[in-house]
Every structure is written in C-alpha cells, then in structure tokens.
Amino acid sequence: MDIETFLHLNRWLHIGCGMIGFFVAPAALATRKGGPAHRFWGRVFFWAMLTAGLTAIVAATFKGLTFLMLTGIFSLYLSYLGYRALYQKRLSRGQAPALYDWVGSGLALLVFIATVCYAVVTRQIVPGVFGLIGTRLALTELHKLRHPEQLAPNRWFFDHMRGFIVSYIAAVSAFSATSFTFLPMEVRFLWPTVVGVPLMVYWVRQYRQRFAQGRQPADVVPVRIQAEPA
C-alpha cells in the first residue's frame, strides 16, 4: 500500500468515526445515566473519538498540519479524562492514582502549553482558546491526582460528564470547521464552545443541586465500581 492510499483510507476512517461520535453522543446524553443504554452508547462514542483523534494525528503528522494534530490530541485527552473518571471513584478513599494518569496529564499539559505558544506565534485565536482550556483541564487533573484526599466523593461523576461533553464539543467544532465553510474560521470553530459550555454548566448545576440535598451518585444513577483495566 502506497502512502497516498494509506492517507486516503485514514481520512475516510477519520470521517466515519467522527460522524459516529457526532450522532451517538446525544444518545448517551439522553439515556438514563449509568443505565445499559448509556453505557453502550458511551463506549461507542469513546472508541469513535479515540479512533478519530488518532487518525487526525496520523494525517497531521504526514501533512505537517500542526493545528490538526493539536486538535486531535485535545479530543483524545478529553475522551481519556471522561473514561478514566469511571476508574477513579475511590480516589477520595485512599485509591492511588495510576501511573498513566500522571503521565497522560503531564504530557497533555506540555502539549497544551505548546498550543498556546503556537497561537501566540501565529496570532490565531482558535488554537489559543483550545490551548488555554486544555491547560486548565490538565492542571486541574494533576492537582486532583496530587491531593486526592481533598476530593468530594462524587467528583468522579462530574469529571466523567465534563470529559465526554467537552470531547463532544471538540468533535462538533471539527465537523463545523470542515462543513460550514460559509462562516469565518473563528466562528466555525468556536460556536460549539459558546453553545455547549453553558449547557454543560447547566447540567452540572442540576446534579450538584441533587447531591446538595444529601443524595449520592448511587441514588441518582446506577453506579458500578470499575476495576482497573488490565
């Protein structure tokens, strides 16, 4: 297989997985949290975003598209945070963070700082926004891993929600950037953030109100303590 054929197949795999993630995420959000349907569609979304992110990085590496590579890493990291949160339910009760949690967030922090530098040098707004968001998320995650005793017992619930919702916002941004060419580039990339983040804040606030009434995640959704993946 020559390189052009490989990149062509990689492109269609990227588009296909991106479209799958684009359409199944609302199904995961709409179904009962923690239920079988939610878990199923959540897994589909995770693997779709993982593949879409990896294929974006492959394409960017061969074609020298720096911003595409950074966007792929951003989406991958957010999906990773949402996924890992399911295995961190007991951090506040003495569970030790995994080594790859430290490594993943440490590397992500370096990449997002580099993204901000890239935005400053090229004077581009979009990578700057994503770089700053990613930097804050990575710093927050590293602080969480360093001080697990300070975590609320339901912290994993919100980390899971934020990780996958922001990953979905990144996927919609990529779809918008490639499809809505009649809009300015900044608008194409940033309108999903402007729309999605307030909705995420609203959902988080709704669940916080439930927990403030003395309810625990197990009272709101079916909860399983996940074993560490082998």
- pLDDT tens sequence across 32-82: 777 788 888 888 888 888 888 888 888 888 877 777 777 778 888 888 888
Residue with tokens 């996940």: 226
CA–CA gap between residue 10 and residue 55 (Å, rounded): 6
Residue with tokens 């700082």: 113
Q: Where are the domains of the chain?
A: 3-103+154-213
Higher pLDDT pick, 11 / 223? 11
pLDDT of 228: 55
Within 8 A by CB and 6+ apart from 155, the residues are 91, 92, 144
DSSP 149: G
Burial 68-101 (b: 16+ CB within 10 A, else e): bbbbbbbbbbbbbbbbbbbbbbebbeeeebeeeb
Give the Cα separation of 40 and 56 in Å (integer): 24
Look at residue 226 in the predicted model and tell me its pLDDT: 53
Report CA torsion sign: 116, 121, 122, 123: positive
pLDDT of residue 102 exceeding 90: yes
pLDDT band at 213 (very low <50, low <70, confident <90, very high): low
| Residue with the larger pLDDT of the pair 131 and 186 | 131
pTM of the model: 0.76
